[in-house]
Structure 1
Amino acid sequence: MAIEALIFDFDGLLMDTESTLLDSWRWEWRQHGLELDETGFFADHGGDVSELRYAALARAVGVRFDRAASHARRMAYRESVHAGLGLSPGIASWLNEAARLGLRLAVASSSPASWVRANLARTGDLTRFEILACGDEVAAHKPDPAVYHLALAKLDLKADQAVAFEDSPHGVTAARTAGLRCVAIPNLFTPESRYAHADVVLPSAATTILSEVLARAARF
């Protein structure tokens, strides 16, 4: 069946928000004279794990830790970094090519819709996407396939009519479990060996034109 739509993950794929997330936590630990242990920083599932990270920081700082002040300070820093954050390399070209090919575009993210919508609106890219399917609309986060099932339902398409694009192994698992072919662009924090279940693996969206990527994905 012909490909009619492309479904993109947001964090780490459309925008490198994961690097700015890690940077914000490194920065906040340093405000207390500490260094963040980055081992296992990125969870093997979608969704917000901020409370676990604040709990770890509280244990390191001790009784003087002010969670509210820490959060406000870190978020202000992250917002300042986000002000200059755009689409990941090559993504704009892919979206432009998708429009020329008449393909429908969607986002399937474990993040809340407010986060995805605000970031895409800031860069002027929100209107490129016909639908958003987000973590606050489903009961479980990736690797659960719920958000991909939601995206397909909103598009009124079957899984073999769309291709997913992901940057994390658990995102690939979610897409494949939903029956989608999946193109992976591994993030900077995960070994490429963990993406063997993706149909296509690329180093960057900037290395290959979209039509070639879709031709490769269509073989599966």
Structure 2
Amino acid sequence: MSALLFGSISTVADTSELQRRAFNEAFEAHGLGWNWSRDDYRTMLGNNGGEDRIAQYAKDRNEDVDAVAVHQTKSSIFQELLSSAGVSARPGVVETIRRAQQDGVRLGFVTTTSADNISALLTALAPEVSADTFDLILDSSSVTAPKPDPSVYRHALEQLGEDAAHVVAVEDNAGGVSAATDAGLTCIAFPNENTVGADFAAAETTVESLHPDEVVALLRS
């Protein structure tokens, strides 16, 4: 057997700018007076974890902020935006999923975001991509350490009963690539609009769109 694992929300639909908008609207809702520009946001995307980004930003500014509460507001706003923004699957994603299903490749959505974020995304993308698409869905409740820690990928391998040599991960940020490769997986870097230009040297390849034949070739290599 073999498996193809999508490692974050933005490997399926590019929601990076919706995420940034949700952060800024949450900051306004909490009266913080913060506004993350695209340049600001891009410097923060080397690692995963929105709550940690908020906490670090507050620390750098010597401000006392309830990062948990702000992040909860951000997540609620993001989920609302997903339901109204008309998001769509990224280039080649649907075709690659269909090819994998045709070839008997198992599919996973292996993230360390919240279950509610995943549910909101898959509701917005249905019926092309839905919860039924995946053999395994992991979220922030699945492991104690978020990416770039590789534990979520190791957990995925255990749950699927797969050897890392037969699994390919798709990731959109450097922290996700590190998590996948540290778990022994082959990784395709699929940058979103705010991670283009990041260091993806650890990935097997970096692409602008997914091509089913190329993904299948990596699974069989």
**Shorter-chain TM-score category?**
0.7 to 0.9
Of 13, 16, 23, 1:15 maps to: 13
Change beyond 3 A, Cα 1:188–1:155: same
Residue matched to 2:87: 85
Q: Distance in 1 between matches of 2:154 and 2:73?
A: 37
Instruction: Name the count of aligned residue pairs.
Output: 211
Unaligned runs of 5+ residues in structure 1 are none
Deviation at 1:119, TM superposition (A): 2.2
Report 1:183-202 matches (<5 A): 183-192=188-197, 194-202=199-207
Cα pair distance change 1:72/1:168, threshold 3 Å: closer
Residue of structure 2 in register with 1:138 after alignment: 143
Q: Which amino acid aligns with 1:36?
A: W
Between the aligned partners of 2:217 and 2:170, the Cα distance in structure 1 is 14
Matches within 5 A, 1:100-179: 100-124=102-126, 125-179=130-184
| Structure number, greater radius of gyration | 1
Partner deviation per Cα, 1:81-134 (whole Å, 9 max, x = no partner): 211223223211111111111211011101123322342144321101011122
- The answer (yes or no) to whether the contact 1:11–1:109 under 8 Å persists in 2 is yes
In structure 2, do the counterparts of structure 1 residues 110 and 39 end up closer, same or farther at CA, with 3 Å as the change threshold?
same
Q: 1:203 aligns with which of 205, 208, 211?
A: 208
1:182–1:217 Cα contact (<8 Å) kept: no
Return the offset for 1:177: 0.7
Normalised TM-score (structure 2): 0.78
CA distance in 1, matches of 2:80, 2:67: 20
Please name the residue that 1:94 is paired with.
96
Distance 2:132 2:143 in 1: 23
Change over 3 Å in CA distance of 1:69–1:117 after alignment to 2:
closer
Unaligned runs of 5+ in 2: none
Instruction: Indicate how the Cα distance of structure 1 residues 66 and 192 shifts in structure 2: closer, same or farther if over 3 A, else same.
Output: closer
What SS does the aligned partner of 2:40 have? coil
Structure-1 separation of matches of 2:51 and 2:68? 16
C-alpha change, 1:162 and 1:112, in structure 2 (3 Å) is same
Percent of paired sites with the same residue: 27
State the Cα RMSD in Å.
3.3
- Give the SS at the match of 2:36: coil
Which deviates more from structure 2 when the two are superposed, residues 170-179 or residues 113-122? 113-122
> After alignment, is 3-12 or 180-189 more displaced?
3-12
Is 1:199–1:217's contact at 8 Å kept on the other side of the alignment? no
Structure 1: distance between partners of 2:8 and 2:155: 15
Alpha-carbon contact 1:184-1:200 (below 8 Å) kept: yes
Q: Quick one: distance in 2 between partners of 1:6 and 1:70?
A: 34
TM (normalized to structure 1)?
Answer: 0.78
SS in 1 for 2:216: helix
Q: Distance in 1 between matches of 2:182 and 2:73?
A: 39
